[in-house]
Amino acid sequence: MTDAYDAIILGAGAAGLMCAARAGQRGKRVLVLEKAEKPGKKILISGGGRCNFTNLGAGPANYLSANPHFAKSALARYTPQDFIELVDSYGIAWHEKTLGQLFCDGPAQQIVDMLLAECAKGAVEVRCNAEVTAVEHDAGRFAVMASGQIATADKLVIATGGPSIPKMGATGYAYGLARQFGLKVVEPRPALVPLTLGGEEVLFREISGVSAPVVATANKASFAEAALFTHRGLSGPAILQASSYWRPGDPVTVDFLPARAPGWLLDAKRENPRATLKSLLREALADRLADILAEKIGLAVELGNASDKALQAAEEQLRRWTFHPNGSEGFAKAEVTVGGISTAELSSKTMESNKIPGLYAIGEAVDVTGWLGGYNFQWAWASAVAAGDAL
């Protein structure tokens, strides 16, 4: 049996559903094929079940891509405010948690229900348990094989996301399909992912559960948020953010006392010469972390007995503590994927392939990756609208 549509969208995730709704509401006959038993599974687990659906400050600077300009057009044409208006029109209550991050007050299911309602308004057909296994392109028409059924359309949208969290069924299907059509793929790697420590740094694994407000830096990208020590190494928002910029072999530097003005240890020596580095660190950080840092720096004497040079060196060490992660926790724990279908292959206005008319790619499948904090969903919505309005 062959079904004919104007557009077939592969993947009923954030981007696929949004794109389908827009195209359907413009009168297009749209089919969405989803391999899972229900749509929007990543939305459901996102933001700890409350879906951090956008970020008030989302702009091109919050995204990684081989072409940092690519995301500008779509992000400018569908803004966080546009998505908030949609959420509000469904009466979904939300709040700003921190740093412009907007979360649902209730369960993330509300966002999935909203997207499905938008799809229903456009008479979109969402078919679950339909894993796409083959796509053929002949005489300008795409034929898609999914779970034994074939559907055809003039337009095909790749919205199958990235390989982060394979346990949930995530795959790199988008990349194989893109390559089949001759599109380049920027090497995918795990991002927003905990980093692991080995060697001498296993010491820090002993303080699993301890966190601290830090500035973490990898490859010149710095993030002022919390770092968390884990039984495998480093996590917490500051480290997850930095991990997107980190590559194997790179150091990650951590400023453990970002609020302290330069020279604070010399000031402390004058004001409180009987204090020790350890006692001062214990005032600012969790005891177990303070003890490890003080021990590693090795300045055991009272400040009054320490040379200014030694204190300056200790301060510098605390400002630029250098970790040498021996790896990351990989796609199994990565919240997103950096890399993907090269933006050089796509129109930034419509997300259509420059080489294959009628072929589109949106969402996480594309080489545009947001920071932690609602930016990835904003890209999913914005890229989906760009394509959905052009199909």
The one segment of 244-252, 253-261, 287-295, 357-365 that binds ligand FDA by CB under 6 A: 357-365
Q: Which of 31, 185, 197, 336: binder of ligand FDA (CB under 6 A)? A: 336
Query: Which element (helix H / strand E) includes 105?
Result: none
The one segment of 79-87, 111-119, 167-175, 342-350 that binds ligand FDA by CB under 6 A: 167-175
Contact status: 290 vs ligand FDA (CB under 6 A) = no
- Smaller CB separation from ligand FDA, 218 or 384: 384
Provide CB contacts within 8 A for 14, sequence distance 6+: 40, 42, 43, 115, 363, 377, 380, 381, 384
Alpha-carbon gap, residue 226 to 235, rounded angstroms: 9
* Angle formed at CA 183 by CA 180 and CA 186, multiple of 5 degrees: 115
Contact status: 33 vs ligand FDA (CB under 6 A) = yes
3-state secondary structure of 111: helix
User: Strand 94-96 relative to strand 101-104: parallel, antiparallel, unpaired?
Assistant: antiparallel
Contact status: 118 vs ligand FDA (CB under 6 A) = no
> In the complex, what is the shortest distance from the CB of residue 159 to ligand FDA, in angstroms, rounded to a whole number?
5
By CB atoms closer than 10 A (0-12, 13-18, 19+), residue 121 is exposed
Q: Which of 9, 14, 228, 294: binder of ligand FDA (CB under 6 A)? A: 14
Interface characters, 250-269, with ligand FDA (x: CB under 6 A): --------------------
Contact status: 42 vs ligand FDA (CB under 6 A) = yes
Contact status: 164 vs ligand FDA (CB under 6 A) = yes
Q: Which two tokens stand for residue 29?
A: 């006959």
Q: Which amino acid is at 268?
A: A
Q: Which of 57, 59, 100, 169: binder of ligand FDA (CB under 6 A)? A: 169
Q: Which amino acid is at 197?
A: L
- Smaller CB separation from ligand FDA, 47 or 269: 47
Alpha-carbon gap, residue 12 to 128, rounded angstroms: 8
Site for ligand FDA in 140-159 (CB under 6 A): 159
If you compute the radius of gyration of the chain from its CA atoms, what whole number of angstroms results? 24
Q: Which residues bind ligand FDA (CB under 6 A)?
A: 10-16, 33-36, 41-42, 45-47, 51-52, 131-132, 159-161, 164-165, 169-171, 173, 335-336, 363-365, 374-377, 380
